[in-house]
């Protein structure tokens, strides 16, 4: 079981020592004596629970809570306010900002332990449910919902930081013929094997492989320019081909192959093409939907080129009008 991480935030070192002693057996503790220091720690490594003083110089606990709520990847961290204020209006304000509980000073050790344990248990169950809701049951990869969530986050991050973002759309060639020849149970096994091959071809922790629907997968590559995405596509083509899943009904090969459409939002790198990965133009709009549309059009081009290959479609290139959908 993973170790719980708790962040205690209070401008009073004495109070931090008291809470640190009480909570020492519940997990890995870290401490901050200001709101700014707390936010820095949370951004670097989000904790499982924050115990937050409401009144601190510079930035109050309420302001810290507001900033956490504004950040999608941090807003679900439970916050327990710990404060000397006992009025209902203070508690109500904290709960309206998203806090899960409110503990008044002076602290009761049994009460603090009980409430922290309760919130850690709720957090663990919530994380498990969220994980289940974002995993594809057949392949054990991320599902469409998870992909959409991560794409939205990475798109905004890329625009904010000026980072590249690339996407592979991967389709199993002639999958209907495979199902007709070998049956649906074999088709399910094929998709699981292909999904595993994709996951093994994507080596960075930040890369996301998801089942997009049916026999279609997507690979999201943050901080990856077009040449890097093409390199990953080569690995995917080789990984799937090397598994050698028999496909005697395929007009393309005697084993299962995939076609790949590549799109990149990368304003720094020039377009590079190779014999395997040819550029087929691009579009100029700058939205995450267009990133998907680019990959979809590139996938169509790969299929038109004979399948078992990859093609690239980039933003801002000519010939956008000639790109057609599947």
Which architecture does CATH list for 5-133?
Answer: 3-Layer(aba) Sandwich (3.40)
Cβ burial 275-288 (10 Å sphere, 16+ → b, else e) = eebebbbbbeeeeb
Enumerate residue ranges in the chain where pLDDT < 50.
268-285, 318-326
Q: What is the pTM of this model?
A: 0.68
Domain ranges for the chain, please list them: 5-133, 144-322
Q: What is the pLDDT of residues 103-130, one digit of tens each?
A: 988 899 999 999 999 999 999 999 889 8
* 22 touches 112 (CB < 8 A): yes
First to last CA, the chain: 46
DSSP-derived 3-state class of residue 203:
coil
Fold designation for 144-322: Alpha-Beta Plaits (3.30.70)
* 295 touches 165 (CB < 8 A): no
Active site residues: 215
pLDDT for 315: 65
């Amino acid at each position: 079981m993973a170790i719980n991480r708790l962040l205690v935030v209070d401008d009073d070192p004495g109070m931090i020592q008291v809470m640190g002693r009480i909570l020492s057996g519940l997990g890995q503790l870290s401490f901050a004596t200001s709101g700014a220091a707390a936010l820095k720690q949370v951004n670097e490594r989000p904790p499982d629970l924050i115990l937050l003083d409401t009144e601190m110089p510079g930035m109050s606990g309420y302001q810290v809570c507001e900033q956490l709520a504004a950040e999608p990847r941090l807003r679900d961290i439970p916050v327990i306010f710990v404060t000397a204020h006992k009025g209902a209006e203070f508690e109500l304000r904290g709960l309206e900002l998203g806090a899960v509980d409110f503990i008044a000073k002076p602290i009761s050790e049994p009460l603090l332990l009980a409430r922290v344990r309760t919130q850690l248990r709720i957090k663990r169950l919530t994380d498990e449910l969220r994980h289940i809701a974002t995993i594809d049951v057949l392949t054990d990869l991320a599902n469409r919902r998870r992909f959409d969530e991560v794409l939205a986050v990475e798109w905004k991050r890329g625009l904010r930081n000026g980072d590249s973002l690339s996407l592979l759309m991967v389709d199993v060639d002639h999958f209907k013929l495979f199902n007709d020849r070998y049956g649906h149970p074999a088709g399910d096994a094929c998709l699981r094997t292909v999904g595993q091959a994709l996951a093994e071809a994507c080596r960075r922790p930040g890369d996301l492989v998801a089942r997009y629907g049916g026999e279609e997968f997507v690979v999201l590559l943050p901080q990856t320019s077009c040449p890097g995405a093409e390199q990953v596509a080569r690995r995917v083509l080789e990984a799937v081909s090397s598994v050698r899943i028999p496909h005697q009904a395929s007009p393309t090969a005697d084993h299962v192959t995939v076609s790949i459409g590549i799109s990149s939002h990368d304003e720094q790198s020039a377009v590079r093409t190779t014999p395997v990965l040819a550029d087929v133009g691009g579009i100029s709009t700058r939205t995450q939907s267009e990133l998907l549309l680019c990959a979809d059009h590139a996938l169509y081009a790969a299929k038109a080129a004979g399948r078992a290959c990859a093609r690239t479609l980039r933003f801002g290139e000519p010939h956008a009008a000639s790109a057609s959908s599947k």
